[in-house]
Amino acid sequence: MHAALRSRSENTSPRPAARLLAAPEGGPVPRGGPVASVQVAELAVAAGCADRLWERERLERLGRAYWRWVTRVTVGLVRVVEVETAPTAILLTRRLPLLRFRPPEYEHGPERGLLTWRIEGGLLVARAGRGRGIFRLTVARPPDGETHTAGERLEVRLELRGYYPSLRGAGRFAAIGAWLYAQTQMRFHLLVCNSFLRALPRLV
């Protein structure tokens, strides 16, 4: 009986687990130009499961899960509508569109999958940033990733690039605006992204 229990335990696939990694990019918010932010987590999954995580269906599921997470973290104050077509983050009402995105774009290959939303506009986007910038979710096997009978490691990234925050302003206000953005909107963005990455084991 004990032998059977040991055998069953050895054959049981490990549960997914996530660990936040040091951000590869950072530093103070610039007074001008685009803002970038990258958050990364290592995800441990059962052997043989990795390839399925960057199939389009799984990427779509992760994308929907992220937007639901935004609503959950904000206790419903911010909701994302039209997720499948052109996601728009609204504050309580559609009359207050905070961020508007173009339809999601999917890329997937033998080692990774990418889900990209291009930033269209919204109240949080400066005029110079309309139609520019991206928010991207990437699931990939790291270059040194090894597969074992117990499982394998993946990297999940959330990247904001080419973003021009309206809160930062311009001219003489830019120095104060950059600080204000870093202490408010940027902090909130990091909170949402990092908490989502920690929750990945329940979402994949």
Domains of the chain, CATH where assigned: 14-26+36-203 (3.30.530)
Average pLDDT rounded to a whole number, residues 63-84:
94
Residue 129 pLDDT more than 70? yes
Average pLDDT rounded to a whole number, residues 169-183:
92
Pair 37, 25: CB distance under 8 Å: yes
Average pLDDT rounded to a whole number, residues 51-60:
86
- Rank 4-8, 30-34, 119-123 by mean pLDDT and report only the highest: 119-123
Q: Tell me how many degrees the CA angle 50-52-53 measures, rounded to the nearest 5.
A: 70
Q: Which structure tokens are listed for 32? A: 């001008």
121 conformational bin, left if phi > 0, alpha if psi -120 to 50, beta if neither: left
Band (196; pLDDT cuts 50, 70, 90): very high
With a CB cutoff of 8 Å and minimum separation 6, the contacts of 72 are: none
Task: Give the span between the Cα atoms of 57 and 122, in whole angstroms.
Answer: 28
Q: Give me the chain's average pLDDT, please.
A: 87
